[in-house]
Amino acid sequence: MTIKPVFDNLYLIPLDLPQEGFHHFLCAWLYKDDHTVILVDPGPRSTMPALLQALEEMKIRHIDHILLTHIHLDHAGGLGLLLDRYPDAKAICHPKGIPHLLKPARLWEASKKVLYETAIIYGEPAPVAEKNLDSRYDISAGDSTVAVYETPGHAPHHLCYRIGDMLFTGEAAGIFYPMEKDLYLRIAAPPGFELGDYRKSLGLLRNVDASVLCFSHYGLSFEIEKILHLASAQTELWTTVIERCSALESPLFEEKVFDALLAVDPGLSCFHQLPEDVKKRETYFLGNSFRGFRIVLNKKEDS
């Protein structure tokens, strides 16, 4: 495993899966200084061996806080196993997420219905003990304080965190793929996605004083203003295009949306430059998001 130092106190831990396209897709972030150790989004159950190996290589004997941006399987599914190794750690999450971490059976069943084989790839989450969970937002991190922001939209229990000038966005600003001369960015709109909340959360993040965005999918960028502006513009583009394509009532809805967005969405402009396996992965997840977005727009029309 290649642990990637970003700054003296920040490390990106890749959580690659042995499935086609699942490299540069999942990662955990480790922040440590002389006083504290913080892990952001431990990832799914299936990548716990890789994460635990990385933490062992880094000689991490204690974790103070585990910050969960949200409780979806690919972000928090491995938490129970991680706490078996670090039983004194406190996991911070939105209050709405705590019942699903204590008793994850409903989350698991819902995830299988939505993600199918991808849920199986991520693995069934283990229950988390109540003593390890906390929803308070006043978190000290050694010489720094962790700022916590409620950022619903992608999920109603989504949080973002700032440590120093580092902003950990989960999926509040979309899915990122780092490229040498360009960037790829898209919205993730699973069941539970709320368009109005997503817009408001992006507006909130644009007012946060930070100099680097740390994505759970995947990597980081120092171009904060550019990316958050792009994410906001992308939201409006998707709304316009998906509304128009939905009105056509075509059985080729996803294909029509995809073709239309490729022509106008700067976040997707380098899609064809992605590695072939990543293009296959992204085509699958884009289809899911187009359908999720359409559901939200249809609800708006019915209300």
Within 10 A of 81 (CB to CB), how many other CB atoms are there?
A: 18
- Residue 288 maps to a domain: yes
Contacts of 140 (CB under 8 A, 6+ apart): 36, 146
* Per-residue confidence (pLDDT) for residue 97, from 0 to 100: 97
Query: How does residue 157 score in pLDDT terms, banded at 50, 70 and 90?
Result: very high
pLDDT in tens, 158-207: 999 999 999 999 999 999 998 888 899 999 999 889 999 999 999 999 99
Read off the tokens for 37: 């150790």
57 domain residue, yes or no: yes
**Residue-level pLDDT at 200:** 98
Residue 267 lies in a domain: yes
In a shared domain, residues 177 and 278: no
In a shared domain, residues 169 and 251: no
In the chain, the number of structural domains is 2
- Are 209 and 240 contained in the same domain? no
User: Does one domain contain both 273 and 238?
Assistant: yes
251 domain residue, yes or no: yes
d(CA 61, CA 239): 47
The pLDDT of 127-147, averaged and rounded, is: 87
Final residue of a structural domain among 162, 197, 224: 224
In a domain, 286, yes or no: yes
In a domain, 141, yes or no: yes
77 with 96, same domain? yes
Looking at the chain, the whole-number percentage of residues with pLDDT higher than 90 is 85
Q: What is the CATH number of the domain that holds 70?
A: 3.60.15.10
The domain containing residue 282 runs over which residues? 234-302
Residue with tokens 């969960």: 68
Q: CA-CA distance, 50 to 22, in Å (whole number)?
A: 14
Residue at a domain's end among 161, 190, 224:
224
Do residues 171 and 46 share a domain?
A: yes
Same-domain check for residues 82 and 138: yes
pTM: 0.95
- Do 145 and 261 fall into the same domain? no
Instruction: Determine the pLDDT at residue 247.
Output: 87
For the stretch 243-302, pLDDT in tens is 999 988 778 999 999 999 999 999 999 999 999 999 999 999 999 999 999 999 988 655
**Local confidence band at 214 (pLDDT 50, 70, 90 cut-offs):** very high
What is the model's pLDDT at position 159? 98
Shared domain check, 80 and 21: yes
- Cα–Cα distance measured from residue 187 to residue 286, given in angstroms and rounded to the nearest whole number: 8
* pLDDT, mean of residues 204-226: 96
Burial of 61: CB neighbours in 10 Å, binned 0-12, 13-18, 19+: exposed
Query: What's the pLDDT tens digit per position in 91-100?
Result: 999 999 999 9
242 in a structural domain? yes
The reply to whether 186 and 89 lie within a common domain is: yes
Same domain, 207 and 78: yes
Among 190, 224, 258, residue at a domain's last position: 224
Pairwise pLDDT comparison (34 vs 138), residue with the higher score = 34
Together in a domain, 33 and 78: yes
Domain contains 229: no
Mean pLDDT value of segment 52-68: 96
Q: What is the reported pLDDT for 141?
A: 73
Which helix (DSSP H) or strand (DSSP E) does residue 183 occupy?
Answer: strand 183-186
